[in-house]
Amino acid sequence: MLKEWWDRRIRPDKDIDWFLQHPDSLQAGSHALRIAAIYLVVGSLWILVSDAILFLIFPDPNAYHTAQRFKGWFYVAATAVMLYGLIYWRMELLSQAAQTIGAAYEDLQAAHEELVAAESELRYQKDMAQHLVDDAPAIILLWQLDGKIIELNPYGQKLLEVDRSPDELPLPELLGTSTASLAKSLVSGEAVVSELGPWEAPSGRQIYVWWNSRLITDPSGGEEKVVSVGTDITQQRELEGRLQRLAYYDNLTQLPNRQRMQETMDQWIAAERPFTLILMDLDHFQDINDTLGHDIGDLFLQHAAQQLRSITRDGEVLARMGGDEFGMLWPHVTDPDQIQGRTQEIFEVFGPWQMLDHEFMMSLSAGVAVYPRHGDTTVDLVKNCDTALNNAKKEGRNRFFVYSEDVQERNVAAIKMSSAIRRAMEQNEFELYYQPHIHLETGAILGAEALIRWPQADGSFVGPPDFIPLAEDTGQIYDIDLWVLQQAINEMKELAAAGYPHLVLSVNISSRTINQPQALAQIVQTIAAEDVDPQRLVLEVTETAILDRDHSAAANLQQLKDLGVYLALDDFGTGYSSLEYVSNWPIEVIKMDRSFIDNIGVDEKKEAVIAAVLRLAATLQYRVVAEGIETEEQRTFLMQRGCSQGQGYLFYRPLPKEHWRLALADSPAPDTQS
Ligand code: C2E
Ligand code: MG
Ligand code: MG
């Protein structure tokens, strides 16, 4: 305890830090007083006890006196040593303190310099941050967790075309997400990304922004803030959009393409969402392309796309599958009645198409397949839909088929029918009927059209529409046509022998036949082999025979014409051709289709068209034969407009040979020929 007191009070120099911490202990007055007090105590004690001590040490009076003499010196020396010690000790302490303070001052100075440097660095950093906020090409948005916007940098204001105070902006709309859910994620301390787009700026420009938001905590306990840094990704999104369009859309019609259609089907199938797929193929599109050129063909496709678009409903997909093939997806339309209704709408929007002052009849063939009934993968559905489409085309186009086992059955039936046709040819089962051509005014028979019939064992007939298209598909039509030609020539010879040398017989020649390379030689040989006047023979062809791609059919027809055979354009009015086009072909007779004639007395506009066609035909010196005349009104109308020949149920149905001969016998003599 005493030691501690000594160390603290008397020898505190042992611990200079103690002094520095107790600077009051270094008060000069108290120390001086303490030294003076020690001196006073020691001096007083010396005066009081020194003589007695001296007497004790030197009892001899002489020695005592001698010692007395040195006693003063001793006292001075002792006090001098004591004073020296005390002052030295104190001065030493002061010097140490001064050194410590000096060192501390240097430290302080260094710390101060560091502080000044740090402050200027801080100012620099702050300026830089402000510069970044003001000038960086990024949107910087500062907001509070309660949704209040504190700051939006100038770049952001300019980009988003902010025309009011930023704190009036709707924050969730700006960030493209709910602020509350964003705030929840931000509290975890992680940066949260979100995307805005499109943001419609006041000018109408669509802007896309990619946001990166982070919560900033104020260490001094102030309100937490969120910094959202936004990158303008508008160009990127636009580019993506363009690439998307290139990859998924058709350039000509702007419709989704096959790829897009298939991906949509994949998605719907994955979601087990029932839908109907309809694949459509424009009838005779190739003919339009070939005769009118690709530019018109493109317009035709665009028009078709437009018509289909007009009946496409929300949620449905319309795509151009390629070429002249279109596809549609109808979600939730799977009921046969609904399918029938929707398909009907398609056929209704495909009618006449006006182009280059001409009217073209547009039609299409379609196949339908339903998910999941007709396949549970995209590949199967498309395959089955294609089968149905092909059947629609085979059955004469301008119709649709829903895929079903029936379609498969029909394919099997077609195969059976094809072998039945072969057998019929071998066993000579076919027969020719003759439908008289009549002079409309006199009623005289001018000739006849030979029409094939296929009598069955039960007394019924298979009509040409039920086997001719199939025979065309299988190529059997070639032999059939040559057989009919041969029969007709035989009939011409018999008629001439029977006293009707003036009669003109018409024979239908399929476009499939006329486009066969060997057809011309065969026909010429067949005619030349018999002694008949080629001028009494008319070959009826449809425009598809003429609209072939390499023009060999047109050349073939020209040679037939050169031989003296008349050529008739059958079914005029059902295709695309106008008389102007026909004038380029070696055609002399126009057979006006029944669908035309049916309009007489029904549709005034169509009547005007018939009248115009007849006028033009007369100018171009075509002979016109009207088909399918069924009423007296039709006959009168046609006669009054200069059409002198026709055939139809009004006069005669196609007649078997004996009846045809009887009709001839009853017919008035043909005193007028046109
Ligand atoms: P097409 O050459 O236009 O023949 C006229 C069709 O109209 C015939 O049908 C005829 O029976 C029918 N018809 C004639 N007048 C009337 C009428 O007043 N009212 C109605 N409703 N119909 C009438 P058909 O005999 O059934 O022949 C259909 C088509 O089959 C023919 O049309 C022709 O394209 C084709 N065809 C017929 N025979 C042959 C043939 O021997 N060879 C080829 N390649 N095709 C043939
Ligand atoms: Mg005909
Ligand atoms: Mg016809």
Spatial contact of 462 and 506, defined as CB atoms under 8 Å apart: no
- Percent of the chain whose predicted confidence (pLDDT) is above 70: 93
Whole-angstrom distance, CA of residue 251 vs CA of residue 261: 15
- Model confidence at 674, pLDDT cuts 50, 70, 90, reads very low
Closest-lying ligand 1 atom to the alpha carbon of residue 591: 3
Spatial contact of 649 and 627, defined as CB atoms under 8 Å apart: no
| Region for 23 from its dihedrals, namely left if φ exceeds 0, alpha if ψ lies in -120 to 50, beta otherwise | alpha
Q: Identify which ligand lies nearest to the alpha carbon of 571.
A: 3
Closest-lying ligand 1 atom to the alpha carbon of residue 513: 44
What integer pLDDT is reported at residue 528 of this predicted model?
Answer: 86
Q: Above 90 in pLDDT, residue 611?
A: yes
What integer pLDDT is reported at residue 16 of this predicted model?
Answer: 62
DSSP E strand stretches across 272-363 = 275-282, 317-322, 325-331, 352-355, 358-361
List pLDDT tens digits, range 321-354: 999 999 999 998 888 889 999 999 998 888 788 7
Give residue 511 CA to ligand 1 midpoint distance, Å: 15
Give residue 435 CA to ligand 3 midpoint distance, Å: 12
List pLDDT tens digits, range 588-608: 999 999 999 999 999 999 999
Among 592, 627, 568, 570, which Cα is nearest to 437's?
627
Average pLDDT in the 356-364 region?
Answer: 76
Q: Above 90 in pLDDT, residue 255?
A: yes
For 252-403, the fitting CATH number among 3.30.70.270, 3.50.50.60, 3.40.630.10, 3.20.20.80 is 3.30.70.270
Alpha carbon separation from 60 to 51, 64, 66, 67 (Å, rounded): 13, 6, 10, 10
Whole-angstrom distance, CA of residue 601 vs CA of residue 71: 171
- Percent of the chain whose predicted confidence (pLDDT) is above 90: 46
Give residue 443 CA to ligand 1 midpoint distance, Å: 21
Average pLDDT in the 487-508 region?
Answer: 95
Helix axes 477-497, 519-529, angle to 10 degrees: 20
Spatial contact of 592 and 573, defined as CB atoms under 8 Å apart: yes
Spatial contact of 196 and 209, defined as CB atoms under 8 Å apart: yes
Give residue 653 CA to ligand 3 midpoint distance, Å: 14
Give residue 467 CA to ligand 1 midpoint distance, Å: 12
Residues linked to residue 432 through DSSP beta bridges, in sequence order: 452
Give residue 591 CA to ligand 3 midpoint distance, Å: 6
CATH of domain 136-238: 3.30.450.20
Average pLDDT in the 2-13 region?
Answer: 58
The architecture in CATH of the region 431-666 reads Alpha-Beta Barrel (3.20)
What integer pLDDT is reported at residue 11 of this predicted model?
Answer: 56
Closest-lying ligand 1 atom to the alpha carbon of residue 451: 38
Average pLDDT, the chain: 87
Nearest CA residue ID for atom 24, ligand 1: 464
Q: Give the three-class secondary structure for 430.
A: coil
Among 528, 617, 513, which Cα is nearest to 565's?
528
Spatial contact of 177 and 187, defined as CB atoms under 8 Å apart: no
Top pLDDT among 163 and 437 is at 437
Q: Identify which ligand lies nearest to the alpha carbon of 512.
A: 1
Top pLDDT among 66 and 389 is at 389
Ligand 1 cavity residues, CB under 6 Å? 435, 451-452, 463-465, 468, 477, 481, 484, 508, 510, 540, 570-571, 594, 627-630, 647-649, 654
The pTM is what?
0.54
DSSP E strand stretches across 440-588 = 445-455, 461-462, 504-508, 537-541, 566-572
Q: Identify which ligand lies nearest to the alpha carbon of 591.
A: 3
Give residue 566 CA to ligand 1 midpoint distance, Å: 19
Top pLDDT among 39 and 645 is at 645
Spatial contact of 503 and 495, defined as CB atoms under 8 Å apart: yes
Spatial contact of 655 and 430, defined as CB atoms under 8 Å apart: no
- Domain positions in the chain are 2-131, 136-238, 252-403, 431-666
Lowest mean pLDDT among 140-154, 272-286, 374-388, 634-648: 140-154
Q: Above 60 in pLDDT, residue 10?
A: no
Closest-lying ligand 1 atom to the alpha carbon of residue 650: 18
Q: Identify which ligand lies nearest to the alpha carbon of 572.
A: 3
364, two tokens:
């299409």
What integer pLDDT is reported at residue 672 of this predicted model?
Answer: 43
List pLDDT tens digits, range 432-487: 999 999 999 999 999 999 999 999 999 999 999 999 988 998 899 999 999 999 99
Average pLDDT in the 576-589 region?
Answer: 80
- Please identify every residue whose CB atom is under 5 Å from ligand 2, which is an ion: 508, 540, 570
